[in-house]
Structure 1
Amino acid sequence: MEHRVDKELDEFRRIMEVPSTFEEGFRWSALFGAIFVALLMVPGAIYMGLLAGTGIGSAAQWVTVILFIEVARRAHRYLNRSEIFVLFFMAGSMMGAATTGGLLWQQFFAQSDAAAANGIVDQIPRWWAPPIESDSYAKRTFFHMDWLPVILMMLFGSFVGQLSNLVLGYGLFRVASDMEKLPFPMAPIGAQGIMAMAEDIEAKTSKDAENSWRWRVFAIGGALGLAFGSIYLFLPVISGALTGTAIQIFPIPFSDFTGKTGQYLHAVATGISWDFGNIVTGMVMPFYGMVGSFIGLIITVVINPILYNRGILSNWKFGDDTISTLFKNNIDFYFSLHIGIAVAIAIAGIYQVVKSIVKGNREKRRLKAIGQVKKGAWKDVPKGRGDIGAWAIILCYFLVTASYTVVSIGLLVWHHGGWTDDIRNVLIVLLLLGYVYTPIISYVTARLEGMVGQVVEVPMIREAALILSGYHGVAVWFLPLPIANYGTMTVFYRQCELTGTKFTSIWKTKIILFPLILLSTIFFMNFIWGLDQIPSVAYPFAQKMWELNAANACIMYSSTMGEYSMFEQAFNVTYLGFGAIFGVILFSGMSVIGAPIMLTYGVVRGLGQSLPHSILPQFIGALIGHFYFKKRLKLKWRQYIPVVAAGFSCGMGLITTVGVGVTFLSKAVIKLPF
């Protein structure tokens, strides 16, 4: 098994090397870039997230980078790769904040049928959404006194979350990369596009066009994105803006066949997503991961009718669509099964980390015995990278955890009007989550990211802790809890290092971004809510998917309400145990036959019941990439396809952003009464 896993991951390890020098990437261009994205890209990202669930994150990043490269070139100045990386990071950060749903999701959930049916509406705390009787819902505005506590909590959560993620993620990167010398095989994928831009500038500066292959590949992807985006997203957006009726050649977000195939495939959600980006994604991701996803999908197609005939998937009925099928299957079986499988994944991930530590210690002892000790130390860092001391990282960790704990307890006291035994129990849970669980899981994830590019999460740890606290009510689910997995940030710092960017550039950029992100997202979410009710027919993705998301969220929220709930219906210890046993057998069996580790994770993803309609086109993309392009291009294929994917996202998002701009202009016209 070790040989085959290493062979696959070696394709990613060998793509890029760490440069010998590091440059400052924070310039005035980053500030102007942030303003550009805040004013022009954020509203498009919010709108496209509601329309198609895709957002324009990558497009905004690449458009910003390309625009500023061209402006700088005409000013006889050339951006280095560090400046390009900072611009890319800055645009991505703003897009991430704009596409999370945020206040728009909160207003929807407070008014949703799922929340009302489960008796949750009246118990939603004021710091998360105003009472349902607030006239702000009728006026469709966030600029209302009832939303002030919500916005203040948004401000607190954003500031503390970003601070902790940056600083503590950096500390874990120092441990995993500098001290333990882990390779981070998936990091080069995110850095390839930056190198494409940098190589293009360098090639044009040196008049050496042979060095700019990445730019040519990026342009090919951009052309594909422009062509497909014109049909898939631009046409519906522009037709809806000009005629009031959206023309969709390819249904958004997918074509649903479940209502018709249900008579043959009981309790199986069938359909297909027409987004060509899924095929590109299948080419980018590890081949065996995509194969595993397809296998997992086939397993559900076979097993769901059996489970239905045996009365396990009892809620499904013929005529249910994809959304109803997925939700009912989740309640009947898959909610508990997924928990069990996730437990097995967590055990496997922790086992890999422990095994690597033991193996590493054995190797260090062997090298020490022959006088060839190769051990990294905290102080051994590349010169000029912009590192900080360990004391700052430790201080940040304790301050952030304490802040989360104090604010959460203060909110509960405010909500209940005083101190209670329930609040005392929650305090104990917060201390355990913040000072015990978070550092352990973050370190384990950092190790796993460094070794095989995977994330480990102990499933339901937050939910189990809150349920076992004995708290009654739903307010506890909306607290800013001191639980996080900072190990995922280690890959970002590796990408930063691969592009030769000083870490201080990232921290300076975040300071500038923080107020811009908040102001732009609040303002444009308010503007878009004022255009139309959300969700509505104007936003097909939100209308189709948000009610499912709300219903799934209510499963957990109902668990602490002190009465028989949807959670008790969905939680089944037998199914959980079966999932755990299945996961252990799966990982063990794959290990015995020497299957790639990506295949195992792919199977679990295919069993995920999240949205199966994207798995088939992703699998087709994986087949095309593996059996055609990879045979023709060899290792270069792994260098080319991430750049193609970046260009595709840029082209597709750029053309749809134009359509969104037309939509805003058309709906902002004031109609005179004469």
Structure 2
Amino acid sequence: MGIIVARVTWFTSGYVLFRLVSDREQLPFPTAPQSALASMALAEESGSEEQTWKWPCFLIGATIGMVFGLIYVGVPALTETFAGKKVTVLPIPFADLTPMLGRFVGATPIAISFSLAPIFAGLLLLFWSVMGSFAGVLLFMITSPLLHHYGFMPRWVPGMGAVQTQIVAGVDFWQPFGMGITLAVAVISITQVIRAGRERREDRAGAARSEPGMCKHPDCHQDAQVRGYCIKHLGRGDFPLWICLTLFFVAAAYPIVLAKTLFPLLVSTSLLVVILLLAFVYAPIMSFVSARLDGLIGQNIQIPHLHEATVFMTGYRGVEIWFVPLAGSDFGGGAETFRIIELTGMRFTSLLKAELVMIPIVLGASLMYWSFLWRLAPIPSDAYPYVQTFWPARAFQEAVRYSATQYSQMWRAGEQVEGELVAPGEVVWSPANLRDNSLYYWRVRLSDELGVRNPDLREYGPWSRTGHFYTDFTGAGDVRAPVIAVASDENERTAHLPGVELTEPAPGATVVTHETYLRVRVPADWDERLAVVFELDTDPDFDGGFFQGSTDRPVFFEIYWKDLRFTGDNKDDDHDGRIDEEYLNQKDDDGDGFIDEDLHHPIRGEKWPILVLGAVFGLGFYAILGIFGMPMFFIWGYIRAVASAGAATFFTLITEVIGAMLAKYYFWPRYGTQQWRQYAMVLAVGFGVGTSLVGMVCASVLMVSKGVSPTSF
């Protein structure tokens, strides 16, 4: 049902936006003609086969694709089937050089993709867009070793592979920097929409005075609406707008009704209001802005981590909120799709018929196909090398998203909790994501080393007594006998610290809500001089799988806000008279013969300055390009490289530039720019068909061989 609703939403929103920005505002959609030409790449003109260039061009591309597919995909699949051992001629998905070259260019993922697909993509894409992406890759490769040298990438160690290097480099620097860049692009996009919209209105006002006001069709006497014709005589198979709007709002309401039905307690009234505003106010407005930007310069607007921000602002702490269907998608790209269909001469009613035929076929085929794939071999596994390589990065990104709501909260004296002020000497901590019908143990310890930013490096006093409580959110009444752990012995170095008293919940109490508040009391005169650390677990030894600590920080916040793990202990650990003078970079920074023995972070673990730096860099880079008259597609290409720094496509950007250089400096002068682009589209289509045919044959052989099991008679 979700797929059907998604297709209805896409179709109706795309058509309505197309009518608004293409028909009414007559925006040019600069990338639509090229896409339309690609869609019609195999459409032959009338005439004999000898007079056309498309079929021979397609055959050349298909031949290249089949030969390459046989080497790249066919040899491994067929040797595994018939010889029992996989032989790989070209590494899939790439050859990882990072472990070998990491000692020379630290914290830089270096891998070579041997696929020809990026080269064909480079032949097609806009030259300056590809060069912008290449510049982003070069900047990444040049600056990453410098950033590692100066301590900005403490997680990277020599020997890591390309994907793992991508992950840690993104966590330490490139993800917050990329988010800042994307925020800058969002600001630039909105500015461009406003400025271009103002200019477009002036042009349209001047054109309206010169254009005739009646439909050009000889038998029509209605006012002209689109390019001199009324909607009826355009011959596009248009739909009534009121039907599309009605279907859109019905489809947009479906996930809201579903969320309230499946999660009646989770979707509170305040959250329901937020979802309604996103679905019926934010999504239409941002989709319209995105469609206008697409119509003006061929790019969509993107506000980074909007969904994560929406989930975070709900205030809910736990994993369940991520599975609530929230609205707020950007449908702006659908307008260009309808413009492409218009340019190809296809009727919109034909597209509707294709959708109606496609949906049941795709649903049925997908269920059978994926079920069979799962039975052949686990996913990920060596049977699927591409997924096996990139699934850690994908899984990590999903875990980062989910961690945004896995945070605990602490309140000190004078702060407000549930409408009440915390009393002097009292500390309140609320853990996240407690399980129902469970027994939890908790304890507390103190430290007065507030100058040490890294909580793990502070010296603490002894643990308090261990408290315990039960959770019963549904009233099931299950009770288990507690196992009381023994508190740690006194620490002589911190014997001067006061004691701490556990006040709530009482030992053996039952907690009936997810929002649990653990309260302790310290002497009021020590209140502002102490760091209080809570620990909670279902294991009395505090070594279980559900451990939580008040000093734990979700990875999402460590990436984008603050990471205190590598900030040092504010002490002279190597007794050289200096405090925290080294970076974590596998080097002897202070020349004393020891490596990484007295550490600190160059910006004290703060990540938000990196985000701000990315935003300033993006805005400044855009301004510089404007001053020197550089194509704006250069910055869009650069953003593409930064955005893919943690994705599989990052390793294909280097080979894309080969195709772009071949196109600009060899094929364009030889065949002409426009003519070569037509050739390149047909070549790319042929290459894709040839590679896909070989892949389908090999996949079929593998499926049959693994699906048939021998039987003894």
CA 1:522/1:324 → structure 2, altered by over 3 Å: closer, same or farther?
A: same
Write the distance in 1 (CA, Å) between the matches of 2:184 and 2:712. Answer: 65
1:385 paired to 2:226: no
Query: Which residue does the alignment assign to 2:687?
Result: 648
Q: Secondary structure at the match of 2:62?
A: helix
For 2:378, what is the secondary structure of its paired residue?
A: coil
> Secondary structure of 2:191's match?
helix
Contact conserved, 2:123 with 2:680, CA < 8 A, in 1?
A: yes
Aligned-residue offset at 1:562: 2.7
- Which string of whole-angstrom CA distances, capped at 9 and with x for unpartnered residues, describes residues 477-520 of structure 1? 22332222211112221222122111111112212222221111
Indicate whether 1:444 and 2:310 are aligned.
no
- AA matched with 1:243: A
Of 527-536 and 599-608, more deviation after overlay is shown by 599-608
The residue that corresponds to 1:56 in the other structure is none
Q: Distance in 2 between matches of 1:292 and 1:222?
A: 30
Q: 2:202 aligns with which of 357, 362, 368?
A: 362
Change (3 A) 1:423 1:575: farther
The equivalent residue for 2:187 is 347
User: What's the counterpart of residue 657 of structure 1?
Assistant: 696
- Counterpart pick for 1:576 among 607, 611, 625: 611
What are the within-5 Å matches in structure 2 for residues 528-539 of structure 1? 528-539=373-384
Could you say which residue in structure 1 is the equivalent of 2:169?
Answer: 329
Structure 2 gaps of 5+ residues are 215-222, 409-552, 562-607
- Tell which structure's C-alpha radius of gyration is larger: 2
The answer to which of 264-273 and 217-226 deviates more is 217-226
Residue of structure 1 aligned with 2:321, choices 476, 481, 484: 476
The corresponding residue for 1:12 is: none
Tell me the secondary structure at the aligned position of residue 199 of structure 1.
Answer: coil
Name the aligned partner's letter for residue 566 of structure 1.
V
Distance 2:84 2:407 in 1: 47
The question of 1:594 aligning with 2:623 is answered no
Tell me if the contact between 2:127 and 2:664 (Cα under 8 Å) persists in the aligned partners: yes
Contact 1:423 1:471 in 2 (8 A): no
Counterparts of 1:308 and 1:174 in 2: how far apart (Å)?
Answer: 51
Corresponding position of 1:621: 659
Change beyond 3 A, Cα 1:499–1:473? same
**Distance in 1 of aligned mates of 2:710 and 2:205:** 79
Taking structure 1 as reference, are residues 208 and 240 closer, same or farther at Cα in structure 2, changes over 3 Å only?
A: closer
Q: Secondary structure at the match of 1:358?
A: helix
Equivalent in 539, 547, 552 of residue 392 of structure 2:
547
CA distance in 2, matches of 1:242, 1:561: 50
**Partner of residue 252, structure 2:** 401
Is the counterpart of residue 291 in structure 1 residue 142 in structure 2?
A: no
Deviation at 1:197, TM superposition (A): 2.9
The residue number in structure 2 matching 1:314 is 154
Q: Give the corresponding residue for 2:369.
A: 524
Structure 1 residue 209 and structure 2 residue 209: aligned? no
Answer yes or no: is the 8 Å Cα contact 1:178–1:380 preserved in 2. no
Question: What's the counterpart of residue 633 of structure 1?
Answer: 671
Query: What amino acid maps onto 1:602 in structure 2?
Result: G
- Name the residue aligned to 1:496: 341
Q: Of 461, 467, 471, which residue of structure 1 is paired with 2:306?
A: 461
Give how far 1:643 is off: 1.3
- Give 3-state SS (helix, strand or coil) of 1:607's partner: helix
Q: Deviations over 1:348-400 (max 9, x none)?
A: 11111111110012223445677889998478335321101111122122212
Letter in 2 for 1:592: I
Q: Name the amino acid aligned to 1:232.
A: Y
Residues 252, 541 of structure 1: 8 Å contact kept: yes
CA contact (8 A) 2:308 2:404 kept: no
Name 1:236's counterpart in structure 2.
Answer: 76
Per the alignment, residue 557 of structure 1 pairs with: 402
For 1:454 and 1:354, the matched residues in 2 are separated by 15
Range 530-539 or range 609-618, more displaced:
609-618
**Match in the other structure for 1:75:** none
3-state secondary structure, aligned to 1:410? helix
**Contact residue 386 and residue 504 of structure 1 kept, 8 A:** yes
CA contact (8 A) 1:182 1:450 kept: yes
Match of 1:254 in 2: 94
Q: Which segment drifts farther, 252-261 or 346-355?
A: 346-355
CA distance 1:332–1:423, change in 2 (3 Å): farther
Measure the CA separation in 1 of the matches of 2:213 and 2:629: 31
**Aligned pair partner of 2:20 in 166, 175, 184:** 175
Distance 1:371 1:637, change over 3 A: closer
- 1:90-101 equivalences under 5 Å are none
Match of 2:110 in 1: 270
Residue 216 of structure 1, CA deviation: 2.0
Deviations 1:6-36 (A, max 9, x none): xxxxxxxxxxxxxxxxxxxxxxxxxxxxxxx
Where 1:197 maps in the other structure, the secondary structure is: coil
* Aligned equivalents of 2:207, 2:22: Cα separation in 1: 19
Mapped partners of 1:271, 1:241: distance in 2: 28
Structure-1-length-normalised TM-score: 0.72
Instruction: Report the 3-state secondary structure (helix = DSSP H, G, I; strand = E; otherwise coil) of the residue aligned with 1:486.
Output: coil
Instruction: Verify the 8 A CA contact 2:8 2:248 in the aligned structure 1.
Output: no
Of 143, 146, 162 in structure 2, the residue corresponding to residue 303 of structure 1 is 143
**CA distances 1:52-78 after superposition (whole Å, capped 9, x unpaired):** xxxxxxxxxxxxxxxxxxxxxxxxxxx
More helix by share: 1
Change (3 A) 1:280 1:337: same
Residue matched to 1:137: none
Q: Cα deviation per residue 1:446-478 (whole Å; 9 max; x = unaligned)?
A: 112222221211111111111011011112222
CA contact (8 A) 1:343 1:580 kept: yes
Give how far 1:286 is off: 0.3
The question of whether the paired residues in 2 share the 8 Å contact of 1:235 and 1:247 is answered with: yes
**Given that residues 212 and 224 in structure 2 are in contact (C-alpha distance below 8 angstroms), is that contact kept between their aligned partners in structure 1?**
no
- Give 2:263's aligned residue: 412
Distance in 2 between residues matched to 1:384 and 1:433, nearest whole Å: 35
> Quick one: distance in 2 between partners of 1:614 and 1:197?
27
Shift of 1:194: 4.5
Cα deviation digits, residues 273-292 of structure 1 (max 9, x gap): 10011111111100011111
CA distance in 2, matches of 1:376, 1:244: 69
The change in CA–CA distance for 1:370 and 1:515 in structure 2 (over 3 A counts) is closer
CA contact (8 A) 1:299 1:607 kept: no
Contact 1:344/1:581 (CA < 8 Å) preserved in 2? yes
2: distance between equivalents of 1:282 and 1:653?
A: 19
* Equivalent residue number for residue 416 of structure 1: none
**Residues matched between the structures, number:** 508
1:414-444 Cα distance to aligned partner (Å, 9 max, x none): xxxxx25x63333222112112221122112
Alignment of 1:597-608 (within 5 A): 597-608=632-643
Please tell me the residue identity of whatever aligns with 2:9. S
Classify 1:373/1:316 alpha carbon distance in 2 versus 1 (closer, same or farther; 3 Å). farther
Superposition deviation, residue 189 in structure 1: 3.1
Structure 1 stretches lacking a partner, 5+ long: 1-155, 414-418
Tell me how far apart the structure 2 counterparts of residues 195 and 604 of structure 1 sit (CA, whole Å): 30
SS in 2 for 1:617: helix
RMSD of aligned alpha carbons: 2.0
8 Å Cα contact 1:251/1:274 also seen in 2: yes
Bigger proportion of residues as strand = 2
1:621 is displaced (CA, Å) by 1.0
Which amino acid is 1:209 matched to? E
Q: In structure 1, how many angstroms separate the alpha carbons of the residues matched to 2:372 and 2:352?
A: 30
